[in-house]
A and B are shown apart, each in its own frame.
Chain A
Amino acid sequence: MYKSQKRALLYAVPGMALVLIFVYYPLILTFYNAFYRWNAFSPVRTFIGFENFQRLFSDPVIGIALTNNTLYAVISVIFQCGLGLVLAAVLENKMFSKFQGFFRTIYFMPVVVSFAVIGILWQLALHPASGIVNPFLHLIGLGAFAQDWLGQSTTAIYSIIFVSQWQNIGYIMLLFLVAMQKIPTDYYEAAAIDGATGIKSFFHITIPLVKEMTLVTVVITVIGAYRVFDEVFIMTEGGPGMSSQTLVTYMYRTGFRTDEMGYASAIAVLMFVVLLILTLIQIRVAGTGRSKGEG
């Protein structure tokens, strides 16, 4: 503890100044800009009050984008957090510990590759005439499920979400692995002596003791799902039609394509509000946000 609170505050000033300038100032500016009609290359700005915010409620693309982001979030939580947790538990199992390094690398490798590369590769792989996904489905007897994955508004967003899961599951798995390695082995040994199976140990020891990491991964995944841009922009540009637009791609489109910076700012405000609410709910649902044993 610092003896002088004033000195402590003084040390915090540079950091606070940076946060104020680069986080809070743009945030306030975004709110302010949403009340105007303006574009990036003209000095003309027209005050239009709440018109941009009202438009959010009548614009059908906002509904599509919000639905897509929510789908993205729900599916990502189930697959990335759920499956990532299971994968981590499997790799932590004694039977697999010998191969853990190998599988960890395999699962993590897509994370380090730029989505520009991954997106184009999957775009080719998913093409119904020249890609490899549909022939593979036919090969394993699931030919009935072959689709024009990115060319139909009913499947485009799911295809993008799938690719995103494929890329990011390794990262979430790694976070869970780190959390699991902090669990004392005594707990598992004691449980084994009491006759607990591996699955019971997973549910009664592993899951409760990685609760904090679960919260972290869910927050990361949900926030990531509402900020998704690259995946959509590279694979479908929001199409066919507007079917795979997300809030960020639509915000970008209105700001930099259709010259409506004011409306783009209003979309940014909407995103801020949605994420704030979701984060508060997650923190409340997950409890205090403090690890067991912390004071």
Chain B
Amino acid sequence: MKKKFIAIIAGILMLLLFATCGTAAPATDPSGAGAPAQTPPAAAADAEQEPITLRFLHKWPEPEFRPWFDALVESYMELNPHVTIIAEAAGDDPIKDLLRIVIGTDQQPDVFFAWSGEFANNFVRAGVVLDLTPHLDADGGAWRNTFMRAGLEPYEMDGRNWGIPIRVNSKVFVYNEALFAEHGLTAPETWDEFLYVAQTFRDAGITPIGFGNASPWAACHYITGLNQKMVPHDVRLVDYYFMTGEFTHPGYVAAHDMFLELHDLGFFNPYVNSTTHSMAREAWFMGESAMFYLSLGEFRTIAAEIGPDGWGFFPMPEIPWGEGRPNYLVGAPDGFLVSAFSQHPEQAIDFLQYMTNMENAVSLIQEIGWPSAVIGAVEAADAPDWLIAGVNNLAEADGMALWLDTDIHIRIADVWLPGLQELLEGTITSEELMQRVQAIAQEVRATYE
């Protein structure tokens, strides 16, 4: 009964989605912009096959990204005329709720987006995700060998592969080269150098770092990096696992204090809790701030707004006294899972293989500037310098710290992230926030014990 009731709600939600975002057999962009590589249809033999409908849910409804996915779906259907793909897109935040609603019903998508780490693991534990290991290992691991390790690994759980990465994303500080040159500054490598650079801009009356935390994932990405640098690697991994997390290491409080210091010293723009990430980014585009913390996936937007030159980037500076591993990046792959209840799992996997073949990996880079998780795609795509530099930065890192909010249990994240807004507002201290995190972690452990 519960399932039927949820199915009705999910049905209504899906109908709404179709009305707003859904595109069954969307038209290819006539200009060709944003279109994945088109392969001539070779589908005559396909004509007599049983009709198949796949539901595909991704998280990029934005006009700069969606056309690529629409064209991908269109080209796949041209190659496979018996397949109809109903593609839907929900934004970064709505998809978190939508997935939870639709996954438990018979309206669930066959192929759906999921962040790696605990976000995907949560679905895996519920038994709603198909094990992709045999498919990756087939033909001597032919499909597996096409992906970067950094793309596949975060989607592993219990030694099995549950997700297929489409891109590998990371977080870096971008900076205005002209402002740096004007003040005789270079990209900082250590935290002290970073503070010096920020102070120099502050003294010159320029906002050192643009920052918008109206949605607290923005602060969470800072904390992701600072936790990684301040807390020993093994301790952090134990804490991030919901069955063992205690979060008592003093490195967590130190990480929050360092983040808060950036705010209290006036290194961020004012009104961070009412400024959105995109508003702060626009301000950085206009030269109103010197640095901005954003993801590799946003590089193309920068290139479109201010051009390919005049800006550079650096990873979160090293903290020599931190107990975490050096040379780690903040970031994670973005990818897709296949429903364990899909009526057509082979077709769903075939669609994923098509999405991640070299031709489409190259198209992904050329058309929307994303760092594909497919090995060799960046070289094959003749990618712009800024993307090559970003991908090299990824390749040179010793490891990645996944986004905190999708790497820890959702109930812990739901206490931690709002707490970061309170921390910036000055209504709680770092110690108080970590006490809350410890309390909820204990509650979560007790729930599952």
Q: Which residues of A contact B (CB under 8 A)?
A: 26, 29, 33, 37-45, 126-130, 148-153, 236-242, 252-253, 256-260
Contact = CB atoms under 8 A, between A and B. Distances in A.
B429 interface: no
B101 A260 contact: no
Residue from A26, A37, A41, A259 having most chain B Cβ neighbours under 10 A:
A41
Given A29-B5, A41-B104, A151-B271, A257 B418 contact: no
A240 B421 contact: yes
A257 B274 contact: no
Contacts of A45: 2
Contacts of A236: 214
A40 B100 contact: yes
Contact of A259 (B279, B410, B424): B410
Interface in B280-315: none
Interface in B94-112: 96-97, 99-101, 103-104
A45 to B, nearest CB: 8
A123 to B, nearest CB: 8
A130 B282 CA distance: 12
Contacts of B422: 153, 240-241
Nearest to A38: B2
Nearest to B126: A42
A128 B97 contact: no
A242 B410 contact: no
Contacts of A258: 410-411, 414
Interface string B244-283: 0000000000000000000000000111111100010000
B1 A29 contact: yes
Interface string B386-399: 00000000000000
Contact of A126 (B269, B274, B411): B274
A254 to B, nearest CB: 9
Contacts of A43: 127
Nearest to A149: B274
B292 to A, nearest CB: 16
Contact of B427 (A29, A148, A153, A252): A153
B273 A151 contact: yes
Interface of B is mostly: helix
A256 B97 contact: yes
Interface residues of B, number: 40
A239 B411 CA distance: 16
Contacts of A42: 104, 125-128
A40 B274 contact: no
B425 interface: yes
26 contacts: A26-B5, A29-B2, A37-B447, A40-B6, A40-B103, A40-B104, A41-B100, A41-B104, A41-B123, A44-B126, A45-B2, A127-B279, A128-B270, A150-B214, A151-B274, A237-B93, A239-B273, A239-B418, A240-B273, A240-B421, A240-B422, A241-B419, A253-B414, A256-B100, A257-B100, A257-B414
A259 B1 CA distance: 19
B122 interface: yes
Nearest to B93: A237
Contacts of A242: 418
A40 B101 contact: yes
A151 B215 CA distance: 11
A240 B127 CA distance: 35
B216 A127 contact: no
A151 B410 contact: no
Contacts of A152: 273, 425
Contacts of B101: 40, 256
Contacts of A129: 269-271, 275
B223 to A, nearest CB: 15
Interface string B418-435: 110110110100000000
A44 B100 CA distance: 14
Nearest to A128: B271
A151 B425 CA distance: 8
Contacts of A128: 270-271, 274
Given A37-B447, A39-B100, A257-B414, A127 B271 contact: yes
Contacts of A26: 5
A153 B125 CA distance: 37
A192 to B, nearest CB: 52
Given A237-B215, A242-B418, A256-B100, A41 B271 contact: no
Nearest to A242: B418
Closest 7 CB pairs of A and B: A151-B274, A41-B104, A151-B273, A42-B126, A41-B103, A240-B421, A241-B422
Given A41-B100, A41-B123, A257-B96, A241 B414 contact: no
Interface string B366-384: 0000000000000000000
Given A33-B2, A126-B274, A239 B126 contact: no
Nearest to B274: A151
Contacts of A241: 418-419, 421-422, 425, 427
B93 to A, nearest CB: 8
Given A26-B5, A41-B104, A150 B97 contact: no
Contact of A240 (B126, B269, B279, B425): B425
A252 B96 CA distance: 12
B98 to A, nearest CB: 8
A125 to B, nearest CB: 12
Contacts of A151: 214, 271-275, 425
Contacts of B414: 253, 257-258
Contacts of B1: 29
Nearest to B410: A258
Nearest to A243: B422
Contacts of B424: 240
A195 B141 CA distance: 97
Contact of A150 (B103, B127, B274): B274
A212 to B, nearest CB: 35
